[in-house]
Structure 1
C-alpha cells in the first residue's frame, strides 16, 4: 500500500499572492478542504478551509457585503497560510502517511516528488477507503474475531486450521491487547462457522465474535 496508489494526483494549487476571496471560491467550487500554495514551482505553504473561516467576518458583523468583499480581496493567501509543512513522498507507504496525520492531528498531507514539488494530496478519506479495501469489506465475507497468544508460531497454527478445512483467507490482521495476549480478525468465505470454531478452540484460539459485513 503506497501513497502513490491512493492519493489524489495533480492537485489544484494557488500562489501566495492569491487573495482570500479567490482562494475561498476555488475551494467552494471544487469542494476542497485544503490547497497547496506554490510559487515558481516551489511548495511554500498550505491553506485550509479552517484558515479561511478564521479570517472571514462572522455572520454578526456590521460590515456590508461590499466592505467584506473589499477586505477579503485585499488579504492575501500568504497572510494566513501555514508555512511549516508536513509532507510525504509518493513512494512512502499509506501507513506512514496515516501515522503522520495521526501524530499531527491533521486531515490531509501534501504529497511531493524528489524535488519537493507537489504531485498529490492524501487525506483521511483516502486512508479510510484504503482500510475498507484492504479488509475486503465490499466482498461480504464472514468476519471472525479470535483470541490468541502473542507468541511465535500462533499465526501459523491458526492459518493451518483454515488450510485443513479448505478455507481461503481473504484478509487477516492482528494486534496486541495486553502483554502476552492479542486479537486476530480474519475475513473469509466460511461455509460452516461451527466446525471452524470448534477446530480453532481445540488449538487454543477461541472465536469471540462472528459477523457478516458487506
Structure 2
C-alpha cells in the first residue's frame, strides 16, 4: 500500500503573505485543519489551526474584538507557520507515513513528487486506509488463529483448509500478542463458527472473535 493510494489529492494551499484571517476562512470553508504554504512552487511551511491558536491572544486578553480582528488582519501565514516541515514521497509505503507521524508526533504529512506537493495524508486518511484493508464495511466476522510456534507454510495450511471447505477469505492479516502470532481472517458473517470448528479439527487453536463490529 503506497501513500499515493490513500492520500488526499485535492490540496488547498496558501502563500506566505496570506493574511491569517483568510487562512482561517479557507480552512473553515473547506472543513480542513491545515494548509501547506507554497512560495514560487516550493513548499516552505505548513500552517494549522493549532499554529494560529498559539499565535493568537489568549482568552484572558484585554483586547477588544476590534483590536483582536485588527491583529489577525495584520498577521500573515509566514508569521505563524511551521517552517521545518516533515514530508513523505508519494511512492513510499503507508507504513513509512505512519512511522514518520509517530516519530515526529504529528498528524499530517504533505506528500511530495520531487519538489512538488501532490497530496496530503492525515491521521484520518490512515484510519480510512485501515478500514479499507480490513474490508470493515463488508458483512464479515473475524476468526483468530493463534500460532504459538511459528513455522514455514502455516499460512498455506490455513488457506488450504479454507479452500477445501469452500470458505471465503475476505481479508487476512497477521498480528502479534506477545510472542504469539495471530492470524486474523475476515470471513463471511455466517461462516465464523464453522471456520473456527474446521480449523480446530485440523489442530489449530482458533476461535471466532467476540464483539466484532458491536454497535
TM-score with structure 1 setting the length:
0.90
Aligned residue in 2 for 1:108: 108
Q: Unmatched 5+ residue regions in structure 2?
A: none
**Contact 1:167–1:190 (8 Å) recurs in 2:** no
Mapping for residues 124-143 of structure 1, pairs under 5 Å: 124-143=123-142
Tell me what 1:69 maps to: 69
Deviations 1:153-194 (A, max 9, x none): 211111111111011211000123333x21111101265544
1:199 aligns with 2:198: yes
Q: Is the 8 A contact 2:141 2:208 kept in 1?
A: no
Structure 1 gap ranges (5+): none
Provide the residue aligned with 1:60 in structure 2.
60
- In 1, the alpha carbon distance for the partners of 2:189 and 2:162 equals 9
Say whether 1:186 aligns with 2:168.
no
What TM-score, normalized by structure 2, do the two folds share? Answer: 0.90
Give CA deviations for 1:93-139 in whole Å, capped at 9, x if unaligned: 2222122212222111101112x121111111111111111101111
How many residues get paired?
212
Q: Secondary structure at the match of 1:146?
A: strand
1:36 touches 1:46 (CA, 8 Å); kept in 2? yes
Q: Distance in 2 between matches of 1:176 and 1:111?
A: 30
* Two-structure CA RMSD over aligned residues (Å): 1.9
Matched-pair contact (CA < 8 Å) for 1:6–1:126: yes
SS in 2 for 1:145: strand
Q: Is the 8 A contact 2:139 2:189 kept in 1?
A: no
SS at match of 2:137: helix
Other structure's SS at 1:138 match: coil
Q: What SS does the corresponding residue of 1:139 show, helix, strand or coil? A: coil
- 1:196 CA drift (Å): 2.7
Query: Which residue does 1:84 correspond to in 2?
Result: 84
